[in-house]
Amino acid sequence: MKTYPANVLAEQYELEPATKESFFEYIIDSNVNGQNSQMTKLFNQMDLNDKSMFIDYLRFGSEWLSDDVKVDILSTLLISKL
């Protein structure tokens, strides 16, 4: 599967603004809305560097999310790799 930088994906999905952070929020919103397969697909479309940045964003840049939601997102993404 070809991967892309998150800001390029944000443009492709017509997110406003078309930034990495907007794409990261789109991934998180997918989980919050119960769209785990969509969340996994979006995550897998990102290049390796932005996957790492997303995990850091989830850990340090999303204080509004509960730890339970963060764990759910990370565990869903890890299980999808098994």
pLDDT digits (tens, 9 = 90+) for 10-46: 999 999 999 999 999 999 999 999 999 999 999 999 9
Read off the pTM: 0.91
**3-state class of 3 per DSSP?**
coil
Q: Which of 14-18, 45-49, 58-62, 78-82 has the lowest mean pLDDT?
A: 78-82
Instruction: Give CA 18 to chain center in angstroms.
Output: 14
